[in-house]
């Protein structure tokens, strides 16, 4: 998954229970020690992958609004914008939008039915991933064209969850 922030690209690659994060020529290992979705808090263990190796415990606070995430670490806030294949593909459609899972997880609830009109920002589906609750929200006012998942279903990263139409 590639994420753009401050004119840099962060490439996150899953490596089992952790991630490899690369920005430019710097690569680190990132392990999620604890995730508190209610408070938007992540406790992370950052490992440098070069000699000499070092480990640092970091607490990050995350808030989101549609495709953007604000991450605050040590008093500094970064705005992250996901640039995945699903986002680019849906942006190419003028009247329809496919909303995809941002990471593997389980569908906890589906809050809409096909044919239902929804307002921008409404929570359509709730996923649980790595002990975090992820709300999939309507990107615009529209109609639910189709649902591709149901509550209790396990989904993969970038799997289409719902198709909206203006």
pLDDT tens-place string over residues 48-73: 877 677 888 988 887 776 567 777 77
- Domains in the chain, number: 2
Give residue 89's pLDDT. Answer: 40
Identify the sign of the CA torsion 87, 82, 65, 19: positive
Is this prediction's pTM over 0.95?
no
Which pLDDT score, from 0 to 100, does residue 53 have? 76
**Residue 32 and residue 18 in contact, taking contact as beta carbons nearer than 8 Å:** yes
- Listed residues 82, 101, 129: the one ending a domain: 82
Q: Containing domain of residue 39, as a range?
A: 2-82
Same domain, 109 and 141: yes
Report the share of the chain in percent with pLDDT over 90: 21
Same domain, 157 and 95: yes
């Amino acid at each position: 998954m590639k994420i753009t922030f401050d004119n840099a690209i962060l490439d996150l690659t899953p490596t089992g229970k952790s991630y490899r994060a690369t920005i430019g020529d710097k690569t680190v290992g990132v392990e999620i020690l604890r995730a508190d979705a209610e408070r938007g808090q992540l406790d992370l263990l950052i490992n440098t992958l070069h000699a000499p190796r070092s480990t640092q415990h970091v607490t990050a606070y995350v808030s989101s609004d549609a495709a953007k995430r604000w991450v605050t670490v040590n008093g500094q806030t970064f705005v992250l914008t996901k640039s995945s294949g699903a986002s680019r593909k849906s942006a190419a459609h003028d009247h329809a939008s496919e909303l995809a899972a941002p990471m593997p997880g389980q569908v906890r609830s589906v809050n809409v039915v096909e044919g239902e009109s929804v307002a921008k920002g409404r929570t359509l589906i709730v996923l649980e991933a790595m002990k975090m609750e992820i709300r999939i929200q309507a990107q615009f006012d529209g109609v639910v064209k189709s649902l591709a998942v149901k509550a209790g279903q396990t989904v993969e990263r970038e799997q289409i969850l719902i198709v909206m139409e203006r």
